[in-house]
Every structure is written in C-alpha cells, then in structure tokens.
Amino acid sequence: MSGTSEPRPFTLARLRADVAEVLYVEADELADDENVFDQGMDSIRTMTLLESWRADGAEVDFTQLAERPTLSAWAALLAPQATAPAATQAGS
C-alpha cells in the first residue's frame, strides 16, 4: 500500500507497481491493456488503491476506474493532462 509522504507521479510504472502490490504479484506479470479484473483485481482492492491515490492528490472516482479497468486507461485517467487521452479512450 502507498502511504508515503512524498506523492509520486501517477506514471504507468507506478500504477503497475501499486496494483501488483495489492495482487501479490510481480509488476512485470501484469499486462497494461488487459482488464485488471481478469488479472485478479476486485473492487475492494480497487477502492483501497483509489483512497491512496486520492490521498496523493488524484482526482478520480470509483466509477471512472470501473468503466475502463486497464492499467493504460487508468494511467491516462490519472495523468496530469488527462483530458486528451481519456477522451480518446472514451470515444473508442
């Protein structure tokens, strides 16, 4: 779990590491474009991550994560300039 005082940027690598940690797997075992729920994620774990990301300044809600549950989509959503890539995702 993330509980550090120094917020780290929401890079794809960080999200992958955070998700890997709650799933008890190695980060390189996760596929970026596959549904995280098919890789062992569940909504309780998603909520715990969401809370830690919010504590680090993320402005995202559960519904947004739930609608596009892949690491790459989450990275796009949480990136500082989230609008452009997120819009592309939404249109697909």
Partner 1 sequence: MTQSGPYDVVVVGGGPGGSTTAALVAMAGHRVLLLEKESFPRHQIGESLLPATIHGICRFLGVSEEMEKANFMPKRGGTFRWGSNPEPWNFLFAYSPLMSGPTSTAYQVERMKFDKILLDNARRLGVDVRERCTAVATLSEGDRVTGLRWTDEDGRTHETGARYVVDASGSNSRLARTVGTRNYSDFFRNVALYGYYEGGKRLPGPDAGNILCCAWDDGWFWYIPLTDTLTSVGAVVNRSQVGTLSRDPEAAMAQFIERAPMIKDYLKDATRVTEGPYGELRVRKDYSYAMERFWQPGMVLVGDAACFVDPVFSTGVHLATYGGLLAARSINSALSGDLDEERAFGEFERRYRREYGVFYEFLLAFYDMQHNEDSYFWQARKVSRAEATDLRAFVELVGGVSSGESALMDLDGLKERFGTSSRDLADAVTRTGPAQSESGERMGELFGTTVVTEVMQGMNEIQARASLGGATTLEQPLFPDGLVASPDGLGWADPTAPTTGTGSVAAELAGTGTGTGDAVGAGSDGGGGTAA
Closest distance to partner 1 from the beta carbon of 65 (Å): 8
- Per CB under 8 A, the list member of 1, 25, 87, 90 interacting with partner 1 is 1
Instruction: Report, in angstroms and rounded to the nearest whole number, the Rg of the chain calculated over CA atoms.
Output: 12
Q: H helices of the chain, where?
A: 12-23, 43-55, 62-67, 71-78, 83-91
Contacts of partner 1 in 4-33 (CB under 8 A): 22
Residue among 25 and 66 whose Cβ is closer to partner 1: 66
Backbone angles phi, psi at 55, to 5 degrees: -65, -25
Contacts of partner 1 in 50-89 (CB under 8 A): 50-52, 54-55, 61-63, 66, 69
